[in-house]
Structure 1
Amino acid sequence: MSKVFAILKSATATAIAATITAALLAGCAQEAGQMLDGGSFGDATLNNTEMMNGERQYTVQLARRFAQEVPATVHFAFDSAALDAEARRILTLQSGWIRQFPEARFRVYGFTDLVGSDAYNRRLGQRRADAVVAFLTSQGISRARLEGVVSLGKTRPVVNTPGPERANRRAITEVTGFVARHPTLLDGKYAEVIYREYIASAVPAGAVEEASPQDLATQ
Structure 2
Amino acid sequence: MNEFFQTLKTQRWDDHRYYHHSRINQSLHLISALCFLVSYGLVFVNPAWAALLAWCVSMTTRQAGHFFFEPRGYDEVNQATDAHKEEIKVGYNIRRKIVLLAVWVALPAVLWFFPSLGGLIEPAVGMKAYLEDVGMAWFCLGVVGLLFRVGQLWATQGAMQGFAWMTKILTDPFHDVMLYHKAPLYLLRGQLIDPMEHVGSEAH
Higher relative contact order (CA 8 A, sep 6+): 2
TM-score range, shorter chain: under 0.3
Using the size of structure 1 for normalisation, the TM-score is: 0.25
In terms of fraction of residues, the more helix-rich structure is 2
In terms of fraction of residues, the more strand-rich structure is 1
**Higher-Rg member (1/2):** 1
